[in-house]
Chain A
Amino acid sequence: MDSFLKSGKLGGSVGDKNNQVNNEVSKKKRSVPWVEKYRPRTVSDIVQQSEAVQVLEQCIAGADLPNLLFYGPPGTGKTSTVLAAARQLFGDMYKDRILELNASDERGIQVIRDKVKTFAQLTASAIRHDGKPCPPFKIIILDEADSLTNAAQAALRRTMEKESKTTRFCLICNYVTRIIEPLTSRCTKFQFKPLDESKIFERLQHIAIEENLQIDDDVLNALVKTSGGDMRRATTCLQSCAILKGKDATISMQDVYEITGVVPEQWIKNYLQACKSNNYSKLEEFIETFILEAYTASQILKQMNEFIVNTDEFTDKQKAVIGEKLGIVSYRLQDGGSEYIQLLDLGCAIMIEYSKTG
């Protein structure tokens, strides 16, 4: 009987061995996700993040590379930037010259001590296999560094200092505050900002043409709007639409909403209507249905917030009261609170404000 995991040994220390297997296996002909397919190959393909791009281009032209710290929201090009830079710096040797560790790898203090140290101590020559010159150092990429433990970060500090001749570090994270100060002070920091809607639109349009998609500009625009400056999200959404609708199908507004999880406008209206009616069972019924339809509570909160901020139905003071409730409820939801009870709580708060309006 051949078992699903016959050849795998679980719980062992599997690490970079994996990467190699994985890299060898991924042949060109495989259908790759668009996020990978359209990942910028060179640093100059990175849009918007001009500070990081400028510095890296100077390094590619020969200047010394500092330790780097990239921080910013998801899908803004942090991983892509460093991978592209490494590819340009080291050419086809780049796989030997980088060590990529992310939060999925075991990264306790022991790993920092062993793996990072061992890799850092390897020597790196200043010529490529083909005789061309290349920088005499290696890059250790610690992606998702905000989930490194403090002890591991502290251990890293020493390694960083000791190996500074032959190794550069690139730390990548969403929240710079999660990185200890002694580390941040040893790196040149670059903030990656959410991409402009126009930039995302351009790139999506480019992908749409390459992939032969039928999609109207306003539908594409709706998709861009829901992405919140996250290029990965925008790209996956576009691919998801394409995958789900199959070849040659036209992608509609409806599809975009379904894929992005946006709650249709009607549901926001019904929620408010139920609150306005001052009838608790109506509110209860609305929320039960909302959950049964599997819409996402955190998403309706986001859209509700938009509505409350822009409406004329409430005074500023009332908006503040509702806004505070929105904040609390959204925090509790994220934190594991029940959708049913939290949405009821918000509903009651809005109901009270409506009854004051008379």
Chain B
Amino acid sequence: MSLWVDKYRPKDLSKLDYHKEQAENLKKLTQRGDFPHLLIYGPSGAGKKTRIMCILKDLYGCGVERLRMEQLNFTTPSKKKLEIMTVSSNYHIEINPSDVGMYDRIVVMDLIKNVAQTQQLDVNGQREFKVIVLTDVDNLTRDAQHALRRTMEKYITNCRLILCANSTSRLTPAIRSRCLGIRVPAPTITEISSILQNICKKEGLTIPSEFAQKIAEKSNRNVRRAILMCEACKVEQYPFSVKQNIAEPDWLMFIRAMSRKISQEQSVNTLANVRGDLYELIIHGIPNNIIFQTMVSELVKNCDISLKSEIISQAAFFEHRLQHGNKAIFHFEAFVAKFMCLYKKFLEDTVGDVF
């Protein structure tokens, strides 16, 4: 039994539920000879991956759906062995270059060259190129981005890249200008709520539109999250009731609880306690920027406007620093400690004002 998120993933450009005009444009794109490199970007859960699979299906037919997982091995010039998981069909291959961290350049370059070198297996196939899907390209190192520049021009006859990113801020202009950028905004609350209702209908369930709306709102415009929450609600209680509890992701509740702790008591004890929480989050693979953002937006809630801006400015400083060190915990803690100082002073001052 597959999850609803997988079971009801649209498989055709024409079946996509929202951004229909864009889907139509993408369809035209696949029918032309001059298919460009693509850069598909948007927040997580906006449906980028679904769109990419639809594009591939349009290009190559059902063959792209026969996927296999394979581990590829690479060797750096210094003879270090690298392994990376790939998902591929006869027509495309997908990797997440950031899996190999600072060695992403070698993996990406070797892969492109090899793909460009192998002739299309299916001689009768209407496409003379294969597709390399690179996910998470926000995290590509500068080095890898530089290396991609000329490669993208040079090997364009035999392979096309589809780059997938949450945001394009960190991509160099050189990479951006070599791709056709496709912006994929998160679907609206209304769109998500109608997707939920459709899924429920197909499952033979009834869902009050008010409840679907409520889930959509809680999902933060993230379709994947919304569908997961909806399925979880179904397991919890069916028939649905508008008042039923909608479970939010564990990590979200965890960060909220942690932030409450920080706001309640500013002490070395709390700091030590929070360290444990932070480690917990890091170990579970919650991305640093998610931890930081959620924590910040929770922490500023009880502050006045001038303190808010002071805290944001500190957060911006420490969050940026975190990108450089390899020990995230230091920077998280430094920020928490800074917050505690500022907040404690603020509380004392306001109490002082009262007397």
Query: Within 8 Å CB of B155, what residues of A?
Result: 22
Query: Within 8 Å CB of B225, what residues of A?
Result: none
- The answer for the CA separation of A90 and B313 in the assembled complex, in Å, is 59
Q: How large is the interface on A (under 10, 10 to 19, 20 to 34, 35 or more residues)?
A: 35 or more
Most chain A Cβ neighbours within 10 Å, of B41, B114, B146, B169: B169
Does B115 contact A296, Cβ atoms closer than 8 Å?
A: no
Does B169 contact A8, Cβ atoms closer than 8 Å?
A: no
A35 on the interface (CB 8 Å rule)?
A: yes
Does B309 contact A352, Cβ atoms closer than 8 Å?
A: yes
A1-20 CB mask vs B (1 if < 8 Å, else 0) is 01111111111001001110
Knowing A11-B110, A292-B221, say if A2 contacts B90 (CB, 8 Å).
Answer: yes
A81 shortest CB reach to chain B, Å: 15
Does A10 contact B177, Cβ atoms closer than 8 Å?
A: no
Interface 9-residue window, one of A26-34, A61-69, A158-166: A26-34
Query: Within 8 Å CB of A196, what residues of B?
Result: none
Count chain B residues whose beta carbon lies closer than 8 angstroms to a beta carbon of A.
86
Does A74 contact B118, Cβ atoms closer than 8 Å?
A: no
Determine which of A102, A340, A348 lies in contact with B308 in the assembled complex, contact meaning CB atoms within 8 Å. Answer: A348
B77 on the interface (CB 8 Å rule)?
A: yes
- The answer for the CA separation of A79 and B186 in the assembled complex, in Å, is 39
Query: Within 8 Å CB of B130, what residues of A?
Result: 4
A297 on the interface (CB 8 Å rule)?
A: yes
Does B113 contact A14, Cβ atoms closer than 8 Å?
A: yes
Does B180 contact A240, Cβ atoms closer than 8 Å?
A: yes
A341 on the interface (CB 8 Å rule)?
A: yes
Does A4 contact B90, Cβ atoms closer than 8 Å?
A: yes
Knowing A2-B121, A144-B149, A294-B184, say if A10 contacts B72 (CB, 8 Å).
Answer: yes
- The answer for the CA separation of A340 and B166 in the assembled complex, in Å, is 12
Determine which of A9, A232, A243 lies in contact with B32 in the assembled complex, contact meaning CB atoms within 8 Å. Answer: A243
Query: Within 8 Å CB of B10, what residues of A?
Result: none
Knowing A2-B121, A18-B117, say if A345 contacts B147 (CB, 8 Å).
Answer: no
A94 on the interface (CB 8 Å rule)?
A: no
- The answer for the CA separation of A233 and B118 in the assembled complex, in Å, is 29
Query: Within 8 Å CB of A340, what residues of B?
Result: 289, 293
Query: Within 8 Å CB of B2, what residues of A?
Result: none
B291 shortest CB reach to chain A, Å: 10
A52-71 CB mask vs B (1 if < 8 Å, else 0) is 00000000000000000000
B204 on the interface (CB 8 Å rule)?
A: no
B74 on the interface (CB 8 Å rule)?
A: yes
Does B174 contact A243, Cβ atoms closer than 8 Å?
A: no
Query: Within 8 Å CB of B157, what residues of A?
Result: 22, 25-26, 30, 32
Does A244 contact B29, Cβ atoms closer than 8 Å?
A: yes
Q: Give residues of chain B (12-28) contacting chain A, Cβ–Cβ below 8 Å.
A: 25, 28
B312 on the interface (CB 8 Å rule)?
A: yes
- The answer for the CA separation of A336 and B153 in the assembled complex, in Å, is 26
Does A344 contact B312, Cβ atoms closer than 8 Å?
A: yes
Interface 9-residue window, one of A42-50, A126-134, A201-209, A326-334: A326-334
Determine which of A8, A75, A143, A293 lies in contact with B118 in the assembled complex, contact meaning CB atoms within 8 Å. Answer: A8
Q: A233: nearest residue on chain B (CB-CB)?
A: B177
B226 on the interface (CB 8 Å rule)?
A: no
Does B169 contact A297, Cβ atoms closer than 8 Å?
A: yes
A306 on the interface (CB 8 Å rule)?
A: no
Knowing A25-B157, A74-B173, A336-B323, say if A341 contacts B316 (CB, 8 Å).
Answer: yes
Query: Within 8 Å CB of B43, what residues of A?
Result: 291-292, 294
Query: Within 8 Å CB of A154, what residues of B?
Result: none
B53 on the interface (CB 8 Å rule)?
A: no
Q: Which residues of B contact A (CB under 8 A)?
A: 25, 28-29, 32-36, 41-43, 46, 70, 72-75, 77, 88-93, 109-119, 121, 128, 130, 143, 146-151, 153-158, 167-170, 173-174, 176-181, 183-186, 220-221, 289, 292-293, 296-297, 300, 305, 308-309, 312-313, 315-316, 319-320, 323-324
Can you list 18 pairs linking A and B with CB atoms under 8 Å apart? A4-B92, A5-B88, A10-B111, A22-B155, A30-B128, A79-B150, A103-B149, A104-B109, A104-B148, A232-B178, A246-B28, A292-B186, A294-B183, A296-B169, A298-B168, A337-B319, A338-B293, A345-B316
The 4 closest A-B pairs by CB, nearest first: A8-B114, A348-B309, A336-B323, A104-B151
Q: Which residues of A contact B (CB under 8 A)?
A: 2-11, 14, 17-19, 21-22, 25-26, 30-33, 35-36, 74-75, 79, 102-106, 108, 110, 143-144, 146-147, 230, 232-233, 236-237, 239-240, 243-246, 258-259, 261, 278, 280, 284, 291-298, 329, 332-342, 344-345, 348-349, 351-352
